[in-house]
Amino acid sequence: SDLRVAVLGVGMMGAFHADALATRTKGARVVVVNDFAPDKAAEVAGRIGARVVADPLEAIRDPEVDAVLIATPGKAHAEQVQACLDAGKPVLCEKPLTTDEDSSYALVEAEAALGRPLVQLGFMRRFDAEYVALKELITTGGLGNPLLVHCTHRNPSVPEFFNSEFMIRDSVVHEVDVARFLLDEEITSVRVLRGVATSAAPAGTSDPMIVVFETASGRLVTDEIYVRTGIAYEVRTEVVGETGSATIGLDQNLVRTSTDGRWGGQITPGFVERFGQAYDTELQRWVAAASRGTIDGPGVWDGYAAVAVCEAGVKAVQTGEKVPVELKAKPGAPASAAALGT
Ligand code: ISE
């Protein structure tokens, strides 16, 4: 029988997931929709034949709900994820796990006390075919020892409130997870370089910025974050290893035209065109895992580590200094191995 899902928060991402669950995902159906805005909840619920439950915690505890997808604002996550753990229900939580390190670590501990993984984080890039291939190339030794990772993350536009700190927490968070995923080690420090800003940025916002991460073994990761290019959605990653390098996210759908002696193609205009496959795969695998009472993807520790790195990143924006990341012990790991997250 189908996994019965409650979707909490049906803004852009939540509505996207609700529609995907209703139309493209096998083995699941959305039975409950919840949103801070009643009209928005009613609209989405009506569209997909679900019930509206006005209180998010009630939606989680609803006896007809087997699993929960959280796409509410970050500040609501701590309480809602904890309620999923209390109810013993698998949850797919959009980033961030929570809005501060302590509340994120509390969820790491709560899940560990429960003894089984229930919390999956919505770091969808781990399901993108190109990132999967890049990771495979690294793991199988195809690049030799990976030395550097260079990331580019450009959005065509963002709302006015997207200041430098927001860019770290909301955008750079993806490269934080990508770096941890590809290199299989923790990030230990963050530096942020703020240069000349685009005239499209509000006063005081440094857009673009260059972020530099160091990892536990001393590798370097760079990230160009530029969210007001006015052009397209460009997410690229290059890994430079001792015996080779590889780049993903190069402009897709490159076509040649022979008629006018030009060549060209289209750059993915938005996140759906670039990561639609990743979201679909993520959701389908989560549904399959949640039906067995577990998860299949980045977990609560990955969510905590990303929050800790982004906190350091925000300090790095404010101070211009290199800011260390100090993670607490990973449950089940010997204290000395905690920093490696192994
Ligand atoms: C947004 O929150 C996302 O998750 C997108 O993937 C990212 O490209 C964008 O920069 C973020 O603001």
Out of 127, 153, 155, 163, mutate this one to test ligand 1's pocket (max ligand atoms within 8 Å of CB): namely 155
Out of 167, 172, 271, mutate this one to test ligand 1's pocket (max ligand atoms within 8 Å of CB): namely 271
pLDDT score recorded for residue 342: 45
Q: pLDDT class for 257, splitting at 50, 70, 90?
A: low
The per-residue pLDDT for range 233-254, each reduced to its tens digit, is 999 999 999 999 999 998 655 5
Spacing, Cα 158 to ligand 1 middle (Å): 9
Q: Atom 10, ligand 1: which residue's CA is nearest?
A: 171
Out of 170, 173, 228, mutate this one to test ligand 1's pocket (max ligand atoms within 8 Å of CB): namely 170
pTM beyond 0.90? yes
Spacing, Cα 171 to ligand 1 middle (Å): 5
Q: Atom 2, ligand 1: which residue's CA is nearest?
A: 170
pLDDT score recorded for residue 311: 98
Q: Atom 11, ligand 1: which residue's CA is nearest?
A: 171
Atom of ligand 1 nearest to the CA of 271: 6
In whole angstroms, how far apart are CA 249 and each of 24, 220, 273?
24, 20, 12
pLDDT score recorded for residue 215: 98
- The percent of residues in the chain predicted with pLDDT above 70, rounded, is 94
| Over residues 98-127, mean pLDDT | 98
In whole angstroms, how far apart are CA 59 and each of 15, 31, 88, 133, 221?
16, 10, 14, 38, 41
Domains and CATH numbers, the chain: 3-124+277-299 (3.40.50.720), 126-275+304-340 (3.30.360.10)
Give the C-alpha separation, 175 to 239, whole Å: 13
Q: Helical H runs in the chain?
A: 12-23, 38-48, 56-61, 77-87, 101-114, 129-139, 164-166, 173-183, 271-291, 300-319
CA dihedral sign, ordered 266, 267, 268, 274: positive
The per-residue pLDDT for range 156-211, each reduced to its tens digit, is 999 999 999 999 999 999 999 999 999 999 999 999 999 999 999 999 999 999 99
Spacing, Cα 232 to ligand 1 middle (Å): 13
Spacing, Cα 153 to ligand 1 middle (Å): 9
174 class by beta-carbon count within 10 Å (0-12 exposed, 13-18 middle, 19+ buried): buried
Spacing, Cα 124 to ligand 1 middle (Å): 11
- Residue 191's closest CA among 289, 321, 80? 321
Give the C-alpha separation, 230 to 251, whole Å: 16
**By the 8 A CB rule, do 15 and 45 touch?**
no
The per-residue pLDDT for range 297-335, each reduced to its tens digit, is 999 999 999 999 999 999 999 999 999 999 999 998 765
Q: How far apart, in Å, do the first and last CA atoms of the chain sit?
A: 36
| Over residues 102-120, mean pLDDT | 98
- What are the φ/ψ torsions at residue 212 (nearest 5 degrees)? -120, 120
Spacing, Cα 4 to ligand 1 middle (Å): 28
Spacing, Cα 62 to ligand 1 middle (Å): 31
Ligand 1 pocket by Cβ (under 6 Å): 155, 170-171, 174, 227, 271
Spacing, Cα 242 to ligand 1 middle (Å): 31
